[in-house]
Every structure is written in structure tokens, then in C-alpha cells.
Structure 1
Amino acid sequence: MSTFTPNDLRNGLRGLRWPLRLTWAGMLAEALVQSLWPLMTVVLLVLAALMLGLQDTVIIEVVWGAAVLTAVAALGAFVYALRRFRVPSRGAAMERLDASLPGRPIQAMMDDAAIGTEDEAAMAVWRAHKARMAERAAAARAVPADLRVSKRDPYALRFVAVLAFAVALLFGSIWRVGSVADMAPGAGGLASGPVWEGWAEPPRYTGRPTLYLNDQTAETLDLPKGTLITLRFYGDVGALTLSETVSGRTSDLPAASDPAQDFAVLQAGTIAVDGPGGRAWSVTVRPDDPPEVEILGEPEVAALGEMRLPFGANDDYGVEAGEARIMLDLAAVDRRYGLTIDPDPRAEIVVPLPTPISGDRAAFEENMIDDFSKHPWANLPVKLTLSVLDAAEQQGATAPVDMTLPGRRFFNPAAAAMIEMRRDLLWSKANAPRMAQVMRAVSYQPQDVLRSETIALRVRRLIERLEIHARYGLDDEVQDELAEDLWGLALELEEGVLADALERLRRAQERLQEAMKNGASDEEIAELMDELRRATEEYLQQLQRQQAQEGQQGQDGQQQQQQGESMQMTQDDLQRMMDRIQELMEQGRMAEAAEALQQLQEMMENMRVTQGQQGQGQQSPGQQAMEGLADTLRQQQGLSDQAFRDLQEQFNPGAQAGENQGNEGRNGGQGRGQSHEGQNGQGQGNGDQQQGEGQRAEGNQQGDGSAGNSEEGLAERQQALRDELRRQQGRLPGQGTPEGDAARDALDRAGRAMDDAEQALRNRDLAEAIDNQAQAMEALREGMRSLGEAMAQQEQNQQPGQGTAESDRRAQNRDPLGREQGNNGANSSEGPLAMGPGGAGRARELLDEIRRRSGETERPEVERDYLNRLLDRF
């Protein structure tokens, strides 16, 4: 049986020595914090105020009052500390340490048995109990101090004091504390004489810093209009006085000897502080000019009525905001039909002008973009005024500009009639009876005008509502509801709700024919042609799916064999035919365009989509897109080569086309011009010496006569190439996949670079154009790589068919640029973009030649700058 002796008690208490000391130290810290926090708060706040120099910005009386309040607060905090502070005893520390242990083992170790001391068995149990308590006490750890005083400081004043002191350490100075000693009564600072301080604070929007007038040694001050002058006089009142002529004040003037002087600079004049240590300045005022705004061009109107109006604004300090106001030009309105009566009062249109989100607003150009198609004044004459405002609330505005408020055009006669009735209803509520009569006349035989019984029923319901409300009067809410119903009805008549792709195609063709008859603008033609292209692609896809479901491929092949020779057209042929129609319409050759559109309509009505049989080398949409992009890249490379040829020949005017030393054409040939293909040129560029000089000259003459041998011709070719890329983007597969989206993003960058190259060519800046063309080619290559990854991912996700055609196997063996790879992974020389087996060596030769030419100082500076940019890029 274990025993517990007094020595064991002493040893156990000796082991608790350091936990007990640390616990006592924590209790002492608690007592100090809980009693001294008010005093520390007062001290930190006073130090922060003195270090920030607040005593120098107020009058001496305020400083004395603050000193008295500080002394009272410090005394109260000191009394609070004396009443609260108590030094903790050793017994209290032991009590806290014992309370942190289970069963209070320290107290149990020091207890003695009250009864049973004569019973040896009872005492043995008692000694065993104390031994267990000693073991628990040996595991004691110091109790952490509780320094929280949130219950005594519910408003967290101590944290406010700490924050103020931290700010003073960052932005103040410890040396400013000594300045308070000079403010004491009888101190030598005031006895030495009066002093003054002054500041000139320009308006914040000017971005100019505040001037400390005591440090300004020049006698002239150039200040922005509205600058705030602040002066403070210290010492005997009247010893220092102010005289100024810059504020223009004539009434409610403060005394010249007032210790606090504040006024704004509004005009040129003088500021003088008269008295000991006084100063005087001659002030010139920098005026704040009002902002200016101007319209930079005619508004651009999209086919669906969206308007884009370019404008520019400038101000010496920056434009804050702007707005466009549009008012109806009643005198210019053709007052016929529903517009004969006076219009209902309607507020002018106010549209906020866009401003740059970041950057300088001193001068900028933006576009105001808005859609007024549903506004009651759409397609009516209006007056437009732009106005801008600067930070000083000065306003600049343009003169009212006469224009027709853009709106959507409707080519369907019934839809146009509904829109006209909507305009009359919004013009005046009194037009309701006349509208009901006109709509009854229009829908007299709905099968000839309206497309479905549903639309006819809606028209009849609308007429009934008009007649009922016309009899009892229209309010604004009913007027808006009827106008919205008329708008939706016109849209349905114009566009239709067509689920069948063939019907949608016919509808797009009809709308295009109506646009031809009504003289549509180029923007409307482009919008309608895009709609026709989309409808054509949907129709082809639907027809292909339908034939695949019905298993008609074999039947179509038999029918074609029975019919003999038949015309075959690819989707590219259809796209080229639609491009030709659009070109004819834009040139005003409407008769030819209508005839071509009729031919397209007949072919689409009678065509059937045929699909190649397995093993016949049919290409997937991804392979077609890859080949199309490869061809676009080749054409862009040729165009860049020709632009570089023209840039070289600018610095050698005496040479013939292509005769510069080292001049390389599109096909990689050197010199003599036959390697440079113009837009219509027929030069071969293969170095074929069997052709006679006359034949080569003829080819060169054809090329020289084309637009491709001038900057303008190159720009036209660049624009055509951009249009072709835009068409290919609409047919790009892999939509919704990361690889497909990456390909589309890359082609978007290529398109923007092509647009920049076209603009540079029109500005005759060949060096900039070549840079942009290089960016376009790089983006095209990136897009093709992403497209190749998308195709590979799609093939992995698909289940293998019953047999893979040879063309499919070859397509799988191509790299993202469309080049076929050899057995060892090397690029084949038979691919569409292959450079031949010496491609790497040829690239090194070109790079060495660029380095050599960039080091020739006799070359023009412009050419050497361009060559250096090529070296930086590649």
C-alpha cells in the first residue's frame, strides 16, 4: 500500500512553483489593465492630438480649455486606478491554479483527516487519495490571464485611442508636442510677437496640391479659380490685419483683424498680411473654361433600329457627366393621316452620355448607343442636343441638330400598317376611332393579309378593345398596353413564329425581296443577308437530318443516276452566291440581285442534300472548317508578303515590281515579280523558265492593273478576307467546349487584327499593316490549334463506327494546321501549309537576312524600325 508523507507534500508544492508564479503574474497583469485602461486611453488620445498638431490649428483659448478637460479626465482616471488596483496574493493565485484542475488536487494535498486517525486502514486509504491528488497536481499548467475589459469599456474607447495614436505615428511628428509649451501663459513664444499661417487650397477636381503660404517666396501666385484661402493670426488681436481684392466681397465682410480668415479666389488681385512678419502677393487667376462637346459624324443606324452616334468632349480639368436631349420637331413633321391632330404632351427624351470609366476625362471620344425603335417619335423629325458638365457645374452644349429619330423598319405591309397605327395611337389618344376603322379595313379579308388564324383573332380582339376604350376614353395605362400589343403583333407579322426551317427560309427570302423594293440601307441589307444565311444553314441541317432518319441516301443516289447529270453545289457555293446577291444590292443593281435571289430560291426549293457513303472520303464539318481556315491563312500570308514587297519598293522607286534584291513574294520566290501574285495577276511564282517573257509580262500587267498592287487594292483584299473569316466563324464546330470557345476567341482576335490591317492599308501605313497582319496570322494559327484539339476531343468522345474511311484516317493524322504527318511524326511536304523539308533552314535564312538588313545604316529609318520590330516579335 502506498503512503503519503509530509516530504511528498513539500515536493509536490515545490513542483507547482513556476505554474503558481506565472498564474500570479497573469493576475497582476489583469489588475493593471482593468484599473489603468482609462488612464492609458486619456494619455494616448492627448499624445495623438499633440503629435498631429491640432493645437496649432485652433485658437489659444481652445487649447487651454482642452488642457483643463484633459487634466480633469486624467485625474479621474488616476483615482479610478487607485480604487480598482489590488496586488494579487499568493493564496489567490493558488486558488485560481487549483480551480483549473479537476477535483482541486492542491487543496486536497494540504488537507488533514478529521476522523479515523486511529484506524490504520482508513489512514491508508486517505494517504492513497492524497497520492492520487499529488499526481494530478503535478500536471498543473499556468492559468492564462484574462485581459478583456469589454464589460467595463462597452464603447471600446481604448481601441479608439490606440487607432488615433497609430495614425499620429504615421502622419504626425513627436516634435510637434513641444509646441504646446509655447502656448502656456507667460511663455516666450507669445512674448516674441504675433505670428500668422496661411494655406491656398485649389478645388479638388483640379488635382493641384495645397500651398503653404508661409513657404511661398515668390511675390506672384497663379491660382485656379475657386481656390480657398485660409489665414490664421496668433497673438494680440489687431497686431496682424488682412487686405485682399481677390474674393470680390462687398458685403458681410469680417474684421480685417479677425484671427480666422477664409475666402475664395474669384478674380485677379492682391492678398496682403499687414503687421510684423507680414507678406503680400499678386494673384493671377487661372480660369476654369466650360466644357465642350461636338458630334463627330452622322449617326449609324443598325437594321433593327439601334443608333450609334459618335461624339467627342473635352474640358481643361475633365468632364463629369453629359446627356443628350431629343425634342420633337413639330414644324418639320408631315402632318398627314393620324398626325393631323395636335399631339399629346410628351416629355423630351433624355439619354445619359457614356464617359470613360477610368483614365483622363479631359478629352475623349465615345459613342452614344441606344435603341429608340419603340419610342412614339421613332422615324419622326427631332432636334438633338448634346450637353456636358464639369466639376464646377459649368455646362457646354451643341447647337440643336435636325435628324430623324432612328427606328426599326418593317418590310411586311401588314406589319408596317400595325406600326403606323401604333404611332398614331401614341401621337394622340383621339386617334383611337380612326385606328379601329383602318385596322378593320386592313383585316377585312385576313387570309390575304395575315399569316394565320391566330394573328387574325388577335387583330379582331385588338380592334374590339380599341372601339370600347375609344367610346369611354383612353388612359395612359391602356394606351401603353395597346401600343405594346401592336408592337408584338407587328413583330410576329414581320418575323413570324416559324418552327419549320423551310418556312423560315422562305420568310427570310420574302423579307429580302421587300427590302429590295423599298430601298433598304446597307445596314438593313447586311442584317437581312445574315438572317438569310442563318435560315439557309438551318434548312440544310434539317433536310440532312430528315434524310438521315428516313434512310433516303441510297434512294437519292439512284434518282441522281436515273436523272443523269445534275448540278451539284456545296455550302461554300451557296455562301458565295449569297455574297454576290449582297454585293449587287449594295451596288444598287436591284434587278440583277432579284434575279439571283429567285434562282437561289428555286434551287433551295428543289435541292436535296446528299451524303457520301462510307469509305468515299466524306469530310466532317470540323475538317471543312480546318481546310477553310488553312486557306484563309495562306491568303493572309500572301497578302502580307505583297505588302512587304510594296514596302521594300517604296525605298527603291527606280526598281520594277519585284526587282528588289532579296525581295520575296507570296510563294517564296525571289526577285523578278513573277512570284508576287496580285489580286488578279497570273504570275506563277514557281520559277518556270519555260514561259516566255511575253507571257510573264502579260501576267505582270494583269497584276499591275488590279487593285491588289496598290494600298487601296490591298485594303479591299484584306476586307474580303475579313468577310470570309467572319463567314467561317459562323460555321465553326465545337461550340460549348473549352477548345471550341478558345478557337472562337482566337478567330475574334484575328478578325480585329485584320480590321486594323485594313485601316492601316487605307492610311498607306504599310509597316503598321504588316504588323497587324502578323498578329492576324498568329491568331489564326492559334485558332486552328484549338480547333484541332476540339476535333480530337470530339473523336475521343464518340464511339467508333463500323468502319473508318481512309479520309477519316488521314484527317486524324493531320496536325492542327492541316498538314499530314509522316510515320515518324514529321510534317509531310504534301500538307496544305507545308513549307517543304527545308522549312527550318529557310526560316533561319530569313531571320539572318532580317538581322543583316537591320544593321545597314544606309537604309531608311522607317524600314530599319520595321525590321527591328520583326526581330522583337520573332
Structure 2
Amino acid sequence: MIWERAARAFWPLAGLLACFFAVFAFGGVAAMPVPGLLWLVGGALIALLAAAIWGGLRYRHVRETEAVERLDRTLPGRPLTALRDRAAIGGEGELWQAHLTQMQERAAVARAVRPDAGLTRRDPYALRLAALVALVMALIFGGTEQMGQGISALAATISRPAGQADGMASGPTWEGWAKPPDYTRRPTIYLNALPEGEMLTLPKGSVISFRLYDEESQVTQDIGAALGDEIRAGDITAEKSGTFEIAGRRFDVTILPDQPPVIRAGDSASRRADGRMVQPFEAEDDHGVVSAKALISLDIENVSRQYGLAAEPEPREAIALELPLPRSADPSRMSGQLVEDLSRHPWANLPVRLSLQAVDGIGQEGTAEPESMVLPGRRFFDPLAAALIEIRRDLLWSRENAKRSAEILRAVTWQPQGFVEEGLYLQLRGAVRILEAGPLDEAERDKLAEALWKAAVQLEDGGLADALERMKQAQEKLSEAIRNGASPDEVQRLMNELKEATDAYTQMLAEQGKADPAERFTKNQERQQITGDQIQQMMDEIQRLMNEGRMAEAQQLLEQFNRMMENLQVTNDGDPNGSSDGQGNRSMNGLADTLREQQRLSDEAFREMQEQFGQGEGESSGNSEELAQRQRELREELGQQRGLLPGEGTQQGDDARQRLDDAGRAMEDAEESLRNGDPGGAMQRQADAIQSMREGMRALGDMLGQDEQRRTGDDSDRGQEGSGSQSAAPEGEQRRSGQSDSRQGQSMLDPLGREQSSNGNVTTPDGRLAEGDIDPAARARSLLDEIRRRSGDQERPRAERDYLERLLDRF
């Protein structure tokens, strides 16, 4: 009853207090002009005083008799009043005692009365609820900074003499910023903070922005063209050294010229085992290179013009390839590698000229001197395959070689018994008929060249591709049988077919590895290695899961097994190198690829969250299911890589496996969050997965480093027994030192698992922003300008524009 009477009397006062608090929390007081602020303070005090007086007059204290009466009215027969009664006639006999007993029983079940202030009748327009909403929003979204500003503004208004209220300045008469071009990665300079007389050194193309807050200030300059027609606010593009003056303050400006970029090729292009070209390059620029490309043209002067190359070549455009620009702590100097598969290009294995070009932020171009080289491509060692590739090259060189190519094909297919398989023989005879039928157009030539390439690859691989295809077909049949709930006999039969196809594929792969004449080119080939026993163990595990009826798990393991077999290099069971440093390096490379894919997936989840916010809460762009599927595939790939990690039984190896297990669980949680349409929750779990993967890779790297040290020590011990081997120990020390330095140079991570500068500085010693860092001043200004632009776009949803206006009011 006390609360009821207080609420009835003082709800207007509470509503006014809540509204005034919200005005302070959202910065409304600080935004009011001085005259309006004085009226606001006066009106608020009068309203609060009136509400307090009105409530005090209406409030009455609650007496005990009123409380008992309120409770008694809720009970049948009003037992509390009856218990205080006395019999008027007849005395207090048995009948009276029975009456009292009945009243006591009714009074014993009394419960507290539910309060009802009746505010709905007293406040039909629900003004109290509006004030409550304003208070809650202020507590959630308001800030102490805005309240402090409001209190400060109020205090300054009250303490300022009346005669000086209008004439006193409230801030600087001008503000200015010097923003270098984005590609220079230099921070924005706040001109008001510069000491008097300090020289302002800026890159060419910097933009000087100014804002004038009084009518007397002016800007004069001789450093470049002015942008825009605004008198009180505008921009100047700095093109030459000179001076400019703002509101009587002079600034001396020195413009730094922008030098064109320099690019050069590194070592000569090399050929990887898979036929890809690897071309190192280096690039330099005073502010960093923004794009680069490689142009490859035919070096006709150095081509041996004989046989099929004697004819005039058909014109072809130069090959244009974009160079990948790696991230570097020093953007003015970078190095990288161009890796491209040009094995199928008509110029493969022919002399070409390589020219590199680089472009900086303002479009200046730097070109390296052209270099002569042989365009790397795949080599074929089977005689018939090599002949087919030469015929293909001649046809792509010039269609005038059609007659000559037909004669060569007739020669290599003469008496094919025991030399050319029947299927291939029929294909080659069909090619002869096409070549002899008449002139070839470009489409027919390209189609024939593709057929010759496939035939040569089939001959070179010795049927390995067919064996792989048979194994994949067997796996697909078994997967379909598991999904459709086939009988155990049918599943077992398909399982036996898969085992036979797998055995044939691995045996052919092993035999090809022993007899491959191109073995010297496969030293750096990044392929998974696995022993025959490991393959059998995986097949046995699939069999066990099916026998236990765990078909879903068996199918998942079967899919992982199929992906693993597609990129397999079989090793002998007794080969110690099967799990040596080479396998460790391959595992490290595979984990690095998976880590990059996880980071890319996390970025896409972030964009998905942004799109959901833009569309309104609860709406999705429809991309979450695709992201979840990709997350699942990435988790399965990580599980496969974990099973192939070396160092089982060692501390570092077990630690690496544990970290990858943690990463797998985090990926699974992220997948579930994506399927539930919660990209925000998925991002957190993806960040956990990235961190766990990095820790696992660090443990694996420590293990490989210890193995390297042991091998170095063994080499040193063996070298001391012979002559000329005393340099082994110093080299080992150098390697260990390099590994230690690389570990010390590991970059730190941001909350999403991305790499950032390890020292946390915004700028490098030369005043340039570190790579990947953001200029805080420029970022703040650009964000504020973008918020203003979007808030003025009437085509945007009203809810979004209201949110942007609240951001503008706050910041």
C-alpha cells in the first residue's frame, strides 16, 4: 500500500527524472545552444518542483487499520473483523465458539494482497512507460562521456557571467588536417597540434582540409589547386612546395616527389615437378607498389626454326600474368614468386622474353629489362607421349603443319600391336583423318590439341588416371549404398571392390615412382606420403564402423579417405623418410593452407554478419548454409591432416595433435552456429580454431627444429671423423639461430586471429604506417564522413537511418 500511494503521487516526478537523465546520457544538454540551455534548466527545475509538491500533497501514510481492512476485504466473510467482534446477546456459548473457529480457519489462509496502483486510469496516454523506455535506452546506449559533457556545459552556462555569455568563444576558430595519399601509408596530421614554425613535409598529392568557424578567418595558399567552392570549408591538393595561411597562421610546406617504382626478376625461372613455372621477383618504391604484372612474349629470334617450327607462327598475344604482391613490414621493398602453370601453352619449352612491370599509387610505371628464358612446362619422357606433344606444339604453332603432323601420326601408329593400345590407336587414326580432311579452323585445332594432350598424359602416367577414376567410382558406389541403406551383403561386396581398386592404384603409383625417369624433378613436390600399412588401417576402420552400424561415421571417413588418396605418394613401410622432416614440412604446408582458408572463411562470416545487420535483425542473406558446408569440409580436411602428422609419441607431436583436436571442435561449433544463422557466434569459434591451429603449428615447428638439430649434430659428429667437415657445426648453429629468430618474429593476432604488427606501434621509425595498420585519425574522419553520407541517403531503411543519426549524436 505504501508503494501504491507513492506511485500514484510521484509517478509524474519519476517520469520527469527519467526523461532528464536520458537527455543527459544521449548528449542532448551538451548539444543545446547557450540561450536554449538556460531555458531548459529553468523549465526543468520548475517542472520537478511542481511534480514534487503535487506528489507530496497527494501522498498519505498507511495506517495499520487500513492495511487490515484491505486484507480483510479479500477474504470470504471478513474473518479478521469477525474475530474482533463480541456477542451482544446469548453469551459466548458453543455456537459462538464454532463461529470463531470457522473465522480463524478462513483467516489462516490469508495471503498478501496483489498491489495495484491504478496507474492505467491515472495515465491513459502511458507517459510513464515512454519515460521508462527512455531511461532503459539511456542506461544501455548512453555514455558517461556525454553526461560529463552535459554537466560541464551546464556548469559553464551557470558560472559564465551574463554579459559574456554570447561573446565568449566556445572552441577553436579553425581546424585543419593534412592527409597524405592512402598508398603512402602515412598518418593524417592535425595542423592545430603542430608547433609554431615547424616545417610541414608532405608527399605529393596530399590533401589539406580546413574548417573555418568564424566569419573573419581566411585561407591563402600557393601549393596547389583548391577542391570545391566552399568558402568556410574546403580541400587543397598539395602539388608543389610553398606556403599556406589559415586564420593568420602560416605553414611552410615541402613536397616530396614520388619516384617511379623499380622491379626486377630474381633468379632464373625454375620448373616444379608438376610443370609449374616459378619466377622470383623483387620490387621497390618509395611508397609501395600497388600492382605488378609479367608479360611473356615469344623470342622468335632464338627459336630453332626447324621441323614443325620452320613455318611462320600464327600471331598470338603476349601472356599477361598478375604478380602476387606479398605483405611486408616495409612496403617500399618487397619480394615474391610468380607460380603459374603454362604447360599447355603453345610456347611451353620454347624461348620467350619475360618483362616485369610495376605500378605505384599514382599510376607511375616501372619496367624491368626483358630477360630471355625458356618457358617452363611439363616434360614427357615416354617416346610416344613426347611425339604427341611435339605434334600438338606444331599444330598450335601453325595450322600449315597439319599435313606434316598427319604423316608423323601415321608413322607412330604403324603396326600398333604391343606398342599402342587399341583405344588410343583408334583416337590417333581419327586425328589423322581430321588432319587430312582439309584446312583446320581454330576451334577444330584447339579441340584436337586438347585430345593430343590428354592422350600424352595418359601414356606418360601409365594408366594411373584410370586407376584413380576406378577407385573414385568404387568409393561413390559404396557411399551411395550406405546412404540408401543397402543390405549388408551388397555393402560388403562394394567394400571389397574399393579395396581391390585401392590396391591397384597404390601399386601402380609405387611402381611408377620407382621407374620414373623424371625423379630428379620431384624433390620439391608437395604431396602427401603414407605407407601401405596406414592405408590398410584406414580401410579396416571403415570396415569396423560399417560392421557396428555406424554408417554416417563410415561415410564421413570414406570421403576423407577418397580425398587423401587423390593426392597420395606411397612410401615403403620400412623407409625411415616416410615420417621424416620431408613429411613434417608437407604437414606444415598443408596446415598453413588450411589456416589461410579458415581466415578467409572467418572474413566471409564477418561480411555475412554485416549483411544481416543491414537487412534487419532476424533476416539472413542466404549464404550461411554455404559457409557452414565449407566449414565442415575444412574441418574434415583438418582431421585428415591430423592423422598424417609425424612425431606420434613425442611430446611436441602429441601437443600438436591436441591443439588440432581443439581446433576441430571449435570448427564444429562454428559450423553449428552458421547453420543456426549466428555468424557472430561462428566468428568467435573460428577465432578459437585459428588460435589452436597456430599453436599446433608452433609445436610441430619446434619438433622439426629439434629433428634438424639432431641431424646437424649427427652430421657434425660424422664430419669430425673425416676431413674438411669442420664447417658443419657452424652451419647448424646458423640454422638454429634462424629458427629462433623466426619464432621471435612471429606476429601477434587480433581478436579474429589475423596477423598484426608484433610491436603494436602505429608508425614505423620513418613515420610510415606499418603494413596492415590503420591511421586512426584518417579512419575516424572517414568513418564519420561515411556515416553522414549514409544518414542523408533517403533510400536507406528508416531503422538504419535512425541508428546512424544516433551515432552522429553520440560521436
Query: TM-score, structure 2 length as denominator?
Result: 0.48
Q: When the two structures are superposed, what TM-score results if normalisation uses the length of structure 1?
A: 0.45
In terms of Rg, which structure is larger? Answer: 1
